[in-house]
Structure 1
Amino acid sequence: MIVIADGGSTKTNWCLINEAGRKILFNTEGYNPYFSSTEYIVESLRKSLPDHLEVEKLTEVNYYGAGCSTDAKRKIVADAMKQIFVNAEINIGHDLLASCRALLGDEPGFAAILGTGTNSCLYDGTDISLNIDSLGYFLGDEGSGCFIGKRILSDYMKGYMPKGLRESFYDNFALTNEDIFDHIYNKPLPNRFCASFSKFLYDYKDNYEEYTFSTIEYAFTAFFENLVIHYPNYKDYTLNCVGSVGYSFRDILSVVADKYEMGIGKIIRSPIDDLVNYHLNSAKKK
C-alpha cells in the first residue's frame, strides 16, 4: 500500500492506494517545517490519522509539503514520517513540485500556489527550472490567504472596512485589536491565523462586492508585480494555479491576469486527485 500526500501550511490532503487499487482520501492539518517541529508533526499525526489506517503495512509514502524546499526542512518532516510509517520508504518533496505535476503533468509551463501562502515557478516537464522566492508571510507571499488576511485585519483595526462588514467581522470573531496583536506576535502559526480571514471575505463577497474586488485585486496585482512578471517571457505561458484562494477568487484572478496579458490555464482547489493520477501513470511507465 502506498500513500500520496499534498501538505499546505493549513491542511494536508492524503490518498491511500490499497492492495486492490482503491483510493481512500483523508485529511490532517498542514505541516510546514518552518513552523512545525518533528515532535509536533508526530504528535499531530498520531492524533489525526484514521483509526483504520494500518500504518505498518504501508510500503511507500510520497509527501509533498509547504516549506519542504531544503534538505534541512525536508529532514524535519521525514524524521516525523519515519516514526509513524515505520516500514515505508519515505519520499519528501516540495508542494510546488506537487502542484506542477498536478497542473502540467509532463508538459512544461508556469505553475503557482495561491493558498495560505504563495509560490510560483517555471516547470520543464520534469522538475522546477526557475523559482522566484515568495519570501514567506512576513516579507512576501503576495496574493496568498495570509496576504489578504493581513489586509482585512488592517482594515478592520483601522476602521477602513465597510461598517456593515466590520460589524459582521466582530459578530463572527469578537476580536479586539489587542487580541489580534496577541495572535500575531505571541501565539503559534500566525500565518494560518491571518489566512483564515480570507474565507470570511469570500463568505460575504456577494454583499460587499466593491470591497471584495478591491481587496482581492490588490493582492493579485501584488502577486503579478512582485513575482509573475519577473519570470522570463511570462506572457508566453498560461497561468496554472493550485490553492483555495486562487480557486475561490478565480474570477478576479482572471481579470488581473488579463491586464498583464497572461492567459488562464488550469485552476484547481487541491492537487491531490491529479497528483495521484500522475503517480499512477508514472508507475505504469516504469
Structure 2
Amino acid sequence: MIVIADGGSTKTNWCLINEFGRKILFNTEGYNPYFSKEDYIVESLNKTLPDTLDTDKLTQVYYYGAGCSTDANIQIVKKAMGKVFTNAEIFVGHDLLASCRALLGNESGFAAILGTGTNTCIYDGKDITLNIDSLGYFLGDEGSGSYIGKRVLADYMKAFMPEKLRKIFFDTYGLSNEDIFDNIYNKPLPNRFCASFSKFIYDNRQNFEEYSLQVVDTAFTAFFENLVTRYPNYKSYKLNCVGSVGYNFRDVLSVVSDRYEMGVGKIIRSPIDDLVEYHLQQQKNS
C-alpha cells in the first residue's frame, strides 16, 4: 500500500491506495516545518490519522509539503514520518513540486501556489529549474491567504473597511485589536491565523463587491509585480495555479493575469487528485 500527501501550511490532503487499488481520501492539519517541529508532527499524526489506517502495512509514503525546500526542513518531516510509518520508504519533497506534477505532469511550464502562502517556479517536466523565493508571510507571500488576511486585519483594526463590513467582522469573530495582536505575536502559527481571514472576504464578496475586489486585485497585482514578472520571458508561459485562494478568486486572478499579458492555463483548488494520477502513471511506466 502506498500513500500520497499534499501538505499546505493549513491542511494536508492524503490519498491511500490500498492493496486492491482503491483510493481512500482523508485530511490532517498542515505541517510546515518552519512552524511545526518533529514532535508536534508525530503527535498530530498519531491523533488525526484514521483509525482504520494500518500504518505498518504501508510500503511507500510520498509527502509533499509547504516549507520542505531545504535539507534541514525535509529531515524534520522525514524523521517524523518515519516514526509513524515505520515500515515504509519515505519520500519528502516540496509542495511546489507537487503542484508542478499535478498541473503539468511531464510537460514544462510555469506553476504557482496561491493558498495560505505563495510560491512560483519554472518547471521543465521533471524538475524545478527556477524559483524566486516568496520570502514567507513576514516579508512576502504576495497574493496569498496570509497576505490578504493581513490586509483585512489591518483595515479592520484601523477602521478602514466599510463600517457595515467591520460590524460583520466583529459579530463573526468577536476579536478586539488586543486579541489580534496576541494571536499574531504570542500564539503559534500566525501565518495560518492571518490566512483564515481571506475566507471572510470570499464569504462577504457579494454584498461588498467594491471593497472585496480592491483587496484581492491589490494582492494579485503585488503577486505579479514582485514574483511573476521577475521570471525571464514570463509572457511566454501560461499561469497554472493551485490553491484555495487562486481557485476561489480565479476570476480576479484571470483579469490581473490578462493585465500583465499572461495567458491562464489550469487553476485547481487542490493538487491531490492529479498528483495521485501522476504517481499511478509513473508506476505503470516503471
TM-score by length of 1: 1.00
**1:266 counterpart SS class:** strand
Residue matched to 2:244: 244
Output one character per residue of 1:72-92: Cα deviation in whole Å (capped at 9) or x when no partner. Answer: 000000010000000000000
**2:171 counterpart SS class:** helix
Whichever residue aligns with residue 200 of structure 1, its letter is F
Whichever residue aligns with residue 270 of structure 1, its letter is S
Q: How far apart are 1:97 and its partner, in Å?
A: 0.2
Residue matched to 2:30: 30
Structure 2 residue 157 is matched with structure 1 residue 186:
no
Identity level (%):
75
Output one character per residue of 1:47-74: Cα deviation in whole Å (capped at 9) or x when no partner. Answer: 0000000000000000000000011000
Structure 2 residue 124 is matched with structure 1 residue 144:
no
Output one character per residue of 1:125-159: Cα deviation in whole Å (capped at 9) or x when no partner. Answer: 00000000000000000000000000000000000
Output one character per residue of 1:146-188: Cα deviation in whole Å (capped at 9) or x when no partner. Answer: 0000000000000001111100000010000010000000000
Residue matched to 1:262: 262
Tell me, in whole angstroms, the C-alpha distance in 1 between the residues paired with 2:40 and 2:161.
37
Output one character per residue of 1:232-283: Cα deviation in whole Å (capped at 9) or x when no partner. Answer: 1000000000000000000000000000000000000000000000000011
After superposition, where does 1:67-106 map in structure 2 within 5 Å? 67-106=67-106
Residue matched to 2:6: 6
Whichever residue aligns with residue 233 of structure 2, its letter is N
* C-alpha RMSD over aligned residues: 0.3
Residue matched to 1:116: 116
**1:83 counterpart SS class:** helix
**1:73 counterpart SS class:** helix
Regions of 4+ moved over 2 Å: none
Any stretches of 5+ residues in structure 2 without a counterpart?
none
What number of residue pairs does the alignment pair up?
Answer: 286
**2:220 counterpart SS class:** helix
Q: How far apart are 1:113 and its partner, in Å?
A: 0.1
**2:275 counterpart SS class:** helix
Whichever residue aligns with residue 102 of structure 1, its letter is A
Whichever residue aligns with residue 44 of structure 2, its letter is S
Residue matched to 1:176: 176
Tell me, in whole angstroms, the C-alpha distance in 2 between the residues paired with 1:255 and 1:37.
39
Tell me, in whole angstroms, the C-alpha distance in 1 between the residues paired with 2:255 and 2:90.
41
**1:62 counterpart SS class:** strand
Q: How far apart are 1:9 and its partner, in Å?
A: 0.1
Residue matched to 2:196: 196
Residue matched to 1:279: 279
Whichever residue aligns with residue 68 of structure 1, its letter is C
**1:26 counterpart SS class:** strand
Any stretches of 5+ residues in structure 1 without a counterpart?
none
Tell me, in whole angstroms, the C-alpha distance in 2 between the residues paired with 1:275 and 1:174.
39
Tell me, in whole angstroms, the C-alpha distance in 1 between the residues paired with 2:233 and 2:27.
38
Tell me, in whole angstroms, the C-alpha distance in 1 between the residues paired with 2:246 and 2:65.
18
Whichever residue aligns with residue 94 of structure 2, its letter is H
Tell me, in whole angstroms, the C-alpha distance in 1 between the residues paired with 2:79 and 2:165.
45
**1:126 counterpart SS class:** coil
Residue matched to 1:219: 219
Tell me, in whole angstroms, the C-alpha distance in 2 between the residues paired with 1:171 and 1:165.
10
**2:120 counterpart SS class:** strand
Tell me, in whole angstroms, the C-alpha distance in 1 between the residues paired with 2:90 and 2:278.
18
**1:160 counterpart SS class:** coil
Residue matched to 1:49: 49
Tell me, in whole angstroms, the C-alpha distance in 2 between the residues paired with 1:46 and 1:166.
40
Q: How far apart are 1:22 and its partner, in Å?
A: 0.4
